[in-house]
């Protein structure tokens, strides 16, 4: 090493507010705990080899013993927040769908557009026609954009392939993004996203996914989870049960699209089958909330989708008051949420879901990590966790981070110990 210095030692001093520091990573924050997201005023943080080494209040700063290879950043009151954890994206897709955006402005609904062959099937057609290399290049560009916005871990779903080869192509691209080691990338097999033309029923298509595609996905080690769009007009409770049981036998836990348009028993079913998360939940019945309050299953709200499609917002306040470890993610996809902006998603958690800023931050970091089984690695800045963080512009308080809802807050982003340009 140049000058014999050890690589990657960084000290951030005089931090206005340091969020997410602790001696041990938090597994999740549930209900009333969310407001207690750790915050230290006037703080320091030490990083080595891409991991958090130590930190605390400036009043207890032990001083610098070893200056070798040490980069010192004077935060001058700027805040340090953990990088966002985006636990639900469809980042791998072929192309945007702004034509449908215009159709909706002119009065068509999302479901009407889908019924005319737009929607997911439109994206599937474009994806099948695209080479793996081109899909990889466009997906990498998107991932880098998210990283520059302060996202430090993502989940990526398949579901625009809808046949064996194209689903494998999507998941291979997602795995290649993860293999770059820039940020953690978890993958989810969503073959049951829509029923393509040529199938007689959702049940028949689901059997094909279970018998032909799932085994190939597992064989090649391409997925960490399974997902299905459990919704009227897409896949029903029977298909959901069959797929989740088959996936569980092959070691894949479930993260399920459910209750986007209707509450029809999907949430209790997913809880019964031990799903890791249930995502969307724009429409929730009282019994769904009761089930979730007593379950390990994490509810994931996707407020950018509600904003973009003009749907109800997930009742975040109700879920937190019921004791749930609510997470917030973007749902980044070309049809219902063409944005990977976690800052905006978290701010909408306050503006439209009734969360206080600290609760929304917890939902978009610690609980996002829990929804991906990545709690020991990301979501906070505890000793041993990945040094992935945002150094903000000067903020007067932690609350201001989400009060400033449309403007970027990160002046610099550090991911796994590396500053982005
Ligand atoms: O999470 N609801 C299902 N799937 C996506 C949208 C997919 C699309 O429109 O392309 C979602 O909203
Ligand atoms: Fe989604």
Query: Could you give the CA distance from residue 88 to residue 100 in angstroms, rounded to a whole number?
Result: 22
- For residue range 64-118, list pLDDT tens digits in order: 999 999 999 999 999 999 999 999 999 999 999 999 999 999 999 998 999 888 9
pLDDT score at 187: 99
Among 312, 335, 338, 339, the mutation site with the greatest number of ligand 1 atoms within 8 A of its Cβ is 335
Token digits for 130? 């695209």
- In the block, residue with structure tokens 């393509």: 196
- For residue range 308-322, list pLDDT tens digits in order: 999 999 999 999 999
- For residue range 358-376, list pLDDT tens digits in order: 999 999 999 999 999 999 9
279 Cα nearest atom in ligand 1: 1
Q: Which residue lies with its CA nearest to atom 11 of ligand 1?
A: 336
Mean pLDDT of 180-184: 98
> What does the mean pLDDT of the chain come to?
96
Give 287's contacts (C-beta < 8 A, 6+ positions apart). Answer: 268
Give the distance (Å) from ligand 2 centre to CA of residue 350: 21
For the cut 90, the answer to whether the pLDDT of residue 388 exceeds it is yes
Q: Which DSSP category does 211 fall into?
A: I
Q: Please give the class, per CATH, of domain 9-82+378-419.
A: mainly beta
For the cut 50, the answer to whether the pLDDT of residue 214 exceeds it is yes
Contact, 215 vs 179, CB < 8 A?
Answer: no
Query: Could you give the CA distance from residue 271 to residue 374 in angstroms, rounded to a whole number?
Result: 20
For the cut 50, the answer to whether the pLDDT of residue 2 exceeds it is no
Mean pLDDT of 337-349: 98
Among 107-116, 211-220, 310-319, 405-414, name the one with the lowest average pLDDT: 107-116
Ligand nearest to the CA of 100: 1
Q: Domain boundaries in the chain?
A: 9-82+378-419, 85-371
- In the block, residue with structure tokens 């390990």: 296
Query: Could you give the CA distance from residue 192 to residue 239 in angstroms, rounded to a whole number?
Result: 9
Give the distance (Å) from ligand 1 centre to CA of residue 98: 14
Instruction: Identify the residues whose C-beta falls under 6 Å from ligand 1.
Output: 119-120, 123, 229, 257, 260, 305, 331, 333-336
pLDDT score at 421: 85
Expressed in percent and rounded to 5, the helix, strand and coil fractions of the chain are 40, 25, 40
- For residue range 128-154, list pLDDT tens digits in order: 999 999 999 999 999 999 999 999 999
Per CATH, the number for 85-371 is 3.20.20.140
For the cut 90, the answer to whether the pLDDT of residue 8 exceeds it is no
Question: Over pLDDT 90: what percentage of the chain?
Answer: 96
For the cut 90, the answer to whether the pLDDT of residue 173 exceeds it is yes
pLDDT score at 3: 35
Give the distance (Å) from ligand 2 centre to CA of residue 27: 24
Q: Which residue lies with its CA nearest to atom 3 of ligand 1?
A: 229
Query: Could you give the CA distance from residue 183 to residue 191 in angstroms, rounded to a whole number?
Result: 25
- Report the C-alpha dihedral over residues 263, 204, 276, 399, rounded to 10 degrees: -50
Give the distance (Å) from ligand 2 centre to CA of residue 70: 42
Among 333, 334, 338, 345, the mutation site with the greatest number of ligand 1 atoms within 8 A of its Cβ is 333
What's the predicted TM-score (pTM) here? 0.97
Give the distance (Å) from ligand 1 centre to CA of residue 103: 17
Give 257's contacts (C-beta < 8 A, 6+ positions apart). Answer: 190, 193, 227, 228, 229, 230, 231, 279, 280
Give the distance (Å) from ligand 2 centre to CA of residue 317: 21
Give 169's contacts (C-beta < 8 A, 6+ positions apart). Answer: 127, 132, 135, 161
- Using left for φ > 0, alpha for ψ between -120 and 50, and beta otherwise, residue 100 falls in alpha
């Amino acid at each position: 090493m140049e000058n014999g210095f050890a690589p990657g030692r960084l000290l951030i001093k005089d931090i206005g507010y340091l969020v997410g520091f602790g001696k041990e990573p938090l597994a999740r924050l549930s209900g009333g705990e969310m407001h207690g997201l750790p915050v230290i005023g006037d703080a320091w943080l030490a990083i080595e080899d891409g991991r958090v080494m130590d930190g605390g209040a400036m009043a207890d700063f032990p001083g610098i013993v070893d200056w070798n290879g040490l980069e010192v950043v004077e935060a001058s009151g700027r805040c340090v927040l953990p990088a966002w954890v985006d636990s639900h994206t469809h980042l791998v897709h072929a192309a945007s769908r702004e034509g449908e955006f215009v159709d909706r402005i002119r009065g068509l609904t999302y479901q009407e557009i889908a019924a005319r062959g737009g929607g997911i099937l439109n994206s599937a057609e474009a994806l099948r026609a695209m080479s793996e290399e081109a899909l990889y290049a466009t997906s990498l560009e998107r991932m880098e954009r998210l990283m520059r916005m302060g996202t430090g871990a993502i989940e990526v779903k398949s579901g625009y392939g809808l046949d064996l080869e194209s689903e494998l192509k999507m998941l291979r691209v997602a795995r290649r993004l993860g293999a770059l080691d820039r940020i953690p990338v978890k993958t989810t097999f969503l073959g049951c996203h829509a029923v393509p033309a040529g199938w007689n029923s959702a049940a028949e298509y689901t059997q094909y996914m279970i018998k032909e595609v799932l085994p190939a996905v597992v064989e090649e080690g391409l997925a960490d989870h399974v997902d299905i769009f459990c919704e009227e007009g897409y896949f029903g409770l029977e298909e959901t049960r069959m797929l989740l049981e088959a996936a569980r036998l092959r070691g894949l836990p479930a993260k399920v699209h459910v209750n986007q348009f209707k509450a029809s028993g999907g949430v209790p079913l997913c809880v019964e089958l031990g799903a890791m998360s249930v995502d969307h939940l724009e429409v929730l019945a009282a019994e769904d909330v009761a089930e979730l309050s007593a379950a390990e299953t994490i509810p994931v709200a996707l407020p950018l989708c509600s904003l973009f499609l003009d749907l109800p917002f997930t009742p975040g306040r109700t879920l937190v008051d019921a004791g749930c470890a609510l997470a917030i993610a973007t749902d980044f996809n070309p049809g219902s949420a063409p944005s990977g902006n976690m800052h905006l998603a978290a701010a909408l958690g306050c503006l439209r879901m009734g969360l206080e800023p600290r609760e929304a931050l917890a939902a978009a970091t610690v609980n996002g990590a829990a929804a991906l089984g990545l709690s020991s690695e990301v979501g906070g800045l505890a000793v041993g966790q990945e040094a992935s963080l945002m150094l903000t512009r000067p903020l007067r308080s932690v609350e201001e981070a989400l009060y400033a809802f449309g403007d970027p807050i990160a002046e610099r982003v550090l991911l796994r110990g590396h500053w982005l340009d």
